Amino acid sequence: MAMVFQSYALWPHMTAAQNIGYGLRLRRVPTAELKRRVEAMLDLLGLEGLGERKVTQLSGGQRQRVALGRALAIEPQILLLDEPLSNLDARIRQTVRHEIKALQEQLGITAVHVTHDREEAMVMADRIVILDSGRIVQVGAPEEVYNRPASPFIAAFMGAGNVIDFNVERANGTIRIPAAQHNDEAILSAGDSDGAVHLVGDCNGPVRAHFRSEAARLVSGEETPPDSLVLRGRISQSSYPGGYYRYAVEVGAQQFMVDDTRSIAVGAAVGISLPAASLHLYSP
């Protein structure tokens, strides 16, 4: 078993090659074999020509590769990674996460990767384990955990951070949401199909609904798309992250974040259209 630490934990007085070969030296691997395996690891990690450089002279991404090489050089059966990408900037992090996954698949070892980054977990994992206060609350493939979160905590962690409470009536494979001050009546498909509301618990009476900003769609004040819940409100804030606009929409005393490709004026009356499949409903 080998471990890659969040802080890298490299020896600053050693070169990259000496750091990678450290575990092999402790195991008294013969010098010729040690040198061969260190060179192979430098090539594998794209660190050719940097073996004699002190790790203090390397970039953050290169240091992370050295730490990974030190762990992999001993040919472990299990590789533990403790938030190994948190110290890298966003651009390098995207590159290194794909490199780690490719290495894990190439070498055929089991890797346990701890992260608080949802996107990192989705990109790198074959199986995701969600922990809440030290307890395992859901285990599954990335698609399963993303599309069918088992609790409000998991839904929020997986990006469905918009929350609204209302009463529902469940009957004959549908969910009916009565009209209220800020929403129209909606009758939505419910069940196990891909286009249906995701239900957890009895969901007959008071429920809490979670949805993602990217799953919602802004519509005009009178438009009512089929098999959707529409919340009526006004745009209170607008920003442009790049490629789309992100709007804060006030619905009564609540505010929801919704993404849309169109430019809409602040103050405009809009509806937030939530298709059945975008809603995750949880009974109390």
Tens-place pLDDT, residues 137-177: 999 999 999 999 999 999 999 999 999 998 999 888 899 99
Contact 232, 183 (CB under 8 A): yes
Give the tens place of pLDDT for each residue, 162-217. 999 989 998 888 999 999 888 889 999 887 777 899 999 888 999 999 999 889 99
> Domains of the chain: which residue ranges?
2-126, 159-282
Q: How much is the pLDDT for 187? A: 92
Other C-beta atoms closer than 10 Å to the C-beta of 58 total 20
pLDDT band at 90; cut points 50, 70, 90: confident
Give the tens place of pLDDT for each residue, 42-88. 988 889 999 999 999 999 889 988 999 999 999 899 999 998 888 77
How many whole angstroms separate alpha carbon 199 and alpha carbon 147?
11
Tell me the CATH number of domain 159-282, given options 3.50.50.60, 1.10.760.10, 2.40.50.100, 2.40.160.20.
Answer: 2.40.50.100
pLDDT band at 17; cut points 50, 70, 90: very high
Q: What is the CATH number assigned to the segment(s) 2-126?
A: 3.40.50.300
The conformation of residue 54, written as its DSSP 8-state character, comes to B
How many whole angstroms separate alpha carbon 249 and alpha carbon 233?
6
Report yes or no on whether pTM surpasses 0.85. Answer: no
Sign of the four-CA dihedral 99, 101, 107, 113: positive
3-state secondary structure of 165: strand
Q: What is the mean pLDDT of residues 223-229?
A: 87
